[in-house]
Amino acid sequence: VIIPTMSVLTAADLEFLLVDSGAKVVLSNQELGHKPISVRERCPELKDVVVTGGSLQGTAGYEEIVARAPEFDGVDGRDEDLAALIYTSGTTGKPKGVMLTHKNFYAQALLSYGLYVAKGEDSRANSMLMPLPLSHVYGLSVAVTTLLMGNTVVMMRRFEPQAALELVREHALKI
């Protein structure tokens, strides 16, 4: 089960999500890895913080874990199994975790397919520039739909017009 978060969360807000969700592992990068490390002791379910691009003190390095891992054959699951916990913005109180199943993502992909692919068009030619946050249901749904169609998702940390145009050119993306 994934629990995507936003990089702009304060350490206290991240702590709330980790405790409330019962998260077992945090995957972060070196720039933001200090946040989960700083709240780790107050998150009883949290077993490990994994950092990409090396490791920080008290963390495991993602690349090292992958290099040592046995070949992954996938996971058997049911459509009704929980796939993601997406937290609301908390405008009327504390954020609440919204449970999404694998079937929710399949249904969203089927509904969205027609928005991305014209009749008779090859869906494999529709890679996506992704400036949307994956911590929001729409951003995550667009990314999952793109991946289920067999396409590439080109990620942006935040939308910047000039950078977006450069990525469109670099990856020959349709706009």
Express each pLDDT in 109-118 by its tens digit: 887 776 666 6
Q: Binning pLDDT at 50, 70 and 90, where does residue 124 land?
A: low
Half-sphere exposure of 171 (CA within 13 A, CB side): 21
The residues, ordered by sequence, that sit 6+ positions from 142 with a Cβ below 8 Å of its Cβ are: 112, 128, 130, 132
The residues, ordered by sequence, that sit 6+ positions from 154 with a Cβ below 8 Å of its Cβ are: 127, 128, 129, 130, 167, 171, 173
Kindly list the distances between the CA atom of residue 166 and the CA atoms of 27, 90, 146, 157, in Å, as whole numbers in the listed order.
Answer: 28, 35, 20, 14
Express each pLDDT in 27-63 by its tens digit: 999 889 999 999 999 999 999 999 998 878 878 888 8
The 3-class SS string of 31-98 reads: CCCHHHHHHHHHCCCCCEEEEECCCCCCCEEHHHHHHHCCCCCCCCCCCCCEEEEEECCCCCCCCCEE
Q: Binning pLDDT at 50, 70 and 90, where does residue 151 land?
A: confident
Q: Does the pTM exceed 0.95?
A: no
